[in-house]
Structure 1
């Protein structure tokens, strides 16, 4: 079994040097041509060399090639180094926390069934049982329609995640952004310090093993 510290070291190297490996699919076209992507898909043996070349180009484009994240003590790294699927799950949970007042108001059978269909039973249960202990949510959300609430979860969650790591500088924030969908988000729903505190509190609940590999956060 790979230790948490070893996994953290590997993730940080990949984060700094190989962003193409975790680049969100919606961003592929911005950094590579379709023929190039098709070529690599057809020839997996070329992938390691291709990713080194592609990542170098991405970092050059962003002005980050000579600007790695060198301080492993950044608490923001606990969020920024999440694997892409875990990062998107974290964003959805953050959005559910912020929409918690409205989600917890839903008690009618039709509303609950609609929420389960849109969000899934696990996320709805999280919003009703755990979310309030992390943050009270956005008070205004209690008056939103159900459709507006479910539509806001992803954008609010992505906005909170971006706010959470924004204080760590562009070297970290721009690299982390590459893992997220290439979509516009509204103004941050929380100030950066509050968003970071919420994000870390969420990880403490949902992935304490991962969080424990960051000594500065213990």
Structure 2
């Protein structure tokens, strides 16, 4: 029985108790429980500030920002500068960033570089953008060719948006961790493929592949 139905059920009990001349104590207890259930239901339906923030950024209703842990992680890293080989808040590169997302949010330690993440046996690659889901990796190079080395990787969030650490300057004027639109240039031209990787597996051997 969910909270809403439970609340209605308790209110029905209250009416029954009152109509049958039940004790005042039973009536008060039923009313108190109904209030507690109403408060619990309100909390359950509450929109968190992080959901409002990233709902606006992604152009989706806040309720659809469901993976709160993911967006809290992203929020901690937003605007961190880009640094080739960097792996701290002082500077981070694209593949360290995606590696950290998979490790810290999903518990899966994926490969270190964009090229290795692309070529890994457990990366299920595809080109159809209609198949993109939150959590997919997106691979790029200057030529947009799968026959050239993959030089950049991002993490797909939904609604044509992805998060990544890039040396290119975004709308804010700075480089580093930012959210970009896949269908806009230069990302549309540089797109090679997307890839689905398993989550929640904690594959520690992947680090050295």
Same fold (TM over 0.5): no
TM-score band, normalised by the shorter chain? under 0.3
Larger Rg: 2
Q: Which has the higher helix share?
A: 1
- TM-score scaled to structure 1, two decimals? 0.25
